Amino acid sequence: MNIFYLLIGVSLFAALIFLGAFIWAVKSGQFEDGYTPSVRILFDDDEIDTPKQTNEEKLHQ
């Protein structure tokens, strides 16, 4: 039965740590941008693979 008291205490301590981390994240502005995630899917992130020239190739042109 004593193990239940230990587990309840550890669980409450862990919950308080997570609650503190959440409050810190909210106060530090982690959740300020509510617009960008909704339009991020509209942005094209595909990069076109083009051969890059080295410095020597640029000098010989």
Tokens of 29: 């502005």
Q: How does pLDDT run across 5-15, given as a tens digit for each residue?
A: 999 999 999 99
Q: How does pLDDT run across 2-43, given as a tens digit for each residue?
A: 999 999 999 999 999 999 999 999 999 888 877 777 787 787
Q: Are 25 and 31 in contact (CB under 8 A)?
A: yes
* Range 36-55 average pLDDT: 69
User: Is the confidence at residue 59, as pLDDT, over 70?
Assistant: no
Q: Are 36 and 30 in contact (CB under 8 A)?
A: no
| 29 vs 50, higher pLDDT | 29
The pTM (predicted TM-score) of the whole model is 0.53
pLDDT value of residue 36: 78
